[in-house]
Structure 1
Amino acid sequence: MMQMASKVIKLDLQYSCDASHAYLQQRHYVSPWQGESAEHFAKRLLVYLSLYEQQPGFAKDDSGGKAPDLFIQDQQQHFQLWCQLELVAEKRRLRASHLADQLLLVLDEQETSKAEHDDWPANQRIFTLTSAQLAEFCQMLKSHMKLSVWREDPLLSITDGEHVLQLNLSALLEKPH
């Protein structure tokens, strides 16, 4: 596991989605958590880009499931989406599913197969990012990233001019089961 070396990542993002007529060019500053691995940071950034138009927020650090890793809140600070980037204890998942309209778990292949055996809160869903996808995106991680992201549901394409990663967002777009 590679640790993130940079304290702050400068992200120049060009985002386009024809369906929603969103054509945005913005600069963001994103900080890796203390001791965060590159894979985990990549996962966090990929989810952020996948939910970009809904303006998700980042947790300041890893709370082990006590608080969401990423979230979307309404004006009343109510969680519309609570996102965990790994499998947390069932007790924490149930609590999160009560506090939020939707609970999203972003897992790798092994965690997904483990989670599929659990009892699920009705508003929980899983989005699987494969190790190959994370490895591909890790190649794009730099202290100054220039990414072009274009969305054509259900696909999200991300490129830094050298590498291209395509994600199928079907699991994110479906309503929870």
Structure 2
Amino acid sequence: MQMVSKVIKLDLDYSCDASHAYQQQRHYVSPWQGESAEHFAKRLLAYLSLYEQHPSFAKDNSAGKTPDLYIQDQQQHFQLWCQLELVPEKRRLRASHLADQLLLVLDEQETNKAQHDQWPANQRIFTLSSAQLAEFCLMLKSHMKLSVWREDPLLSITDGEHLLQLNLAALLEKPH
């Protein structure tokens, strides 16, 4: 299913006792042209999982030539390069050279394929199940109101109707 909305208004209440992060913010997020709801859900879940590190969204899908989500330092060096699908090994190697960390946010099938490939030393994989993506897709609306609370290694997300819990252990580990 393709995203219909041009811009999503996201009112986010984020809290984490361990880091004393308590924030209420409004974000405007645009789906990429032709982006499926599942891919958009994956992008938002990756963003929420990395929220305290202040990730940025790519403006459009570049098929791995540029990151889908990223974190840069003040000198514009990539601290984190995040891809939301399995890209060719050559592009992953390039990304691993341009960034301190390479994060692949994959579904179960993509994770199984990736585990047969050779991994760059600074790459890690965060797997989102089909059930998790389907549950989060139920929360997608043109005006989303989400409450997110983090208690490592769990991230809990609710819109008042649905509740999704993600285990962030793979994001908290150091790369291979």
Instruction: Please give the range of the TM-score, normalised by the shorter of the 2 chains.
Output: over 0.9
Query: SS at the partner of 1:171?
Result: helix
Aligned length: 176
Corresponding residue number in structure 2 for 1:53: 52
Once the two structures are TM-superposed, the CA of residue 75 in structure 1 deviates from its matched residue by 0.4
2:149 maps to 150
Counterpart in 2 of 1:13? 12
Where in structure 2 are there 5+ consecutive unaligned residues?
A: none
> Residue 70 of structure 2 aligns to which amino acid in structure 1?
F
SS of residue matched to 1:6: coil
Partner of 1:166: 165
TM-score by length of 1: 0.99
Q: Which residue of 2 aligns with 1:128?
A: 127
Aligned partner of 1:85 in structure 2 is: 84
Aligned to 2:40: 41
CA RMSD, 1 decimal: 0.3
Alignment partner of 1:66: what SS?
A: coil
Whole-Å separation in 2 of the counterparts to 1:120 and 1:46: 23
| Aligned-partner Cα distance in 2 for 1:30–1:79 | 21
**Identity within the alignment, %:** 90
Alignment partners' CA distance in 2, 1:162 and 1:75: 39
Residue 173 of structure 1, CA deviation: 0.5
Aligned to 2:140: 141
Map 1:92-107 → 2, pairs under 5 A: 92-107=91-106
| Residue of structure 2 equivalent to 1:118 | 117
User: Deviation above 6 Å: which 4+ runs of structure 1?
Assistant: none
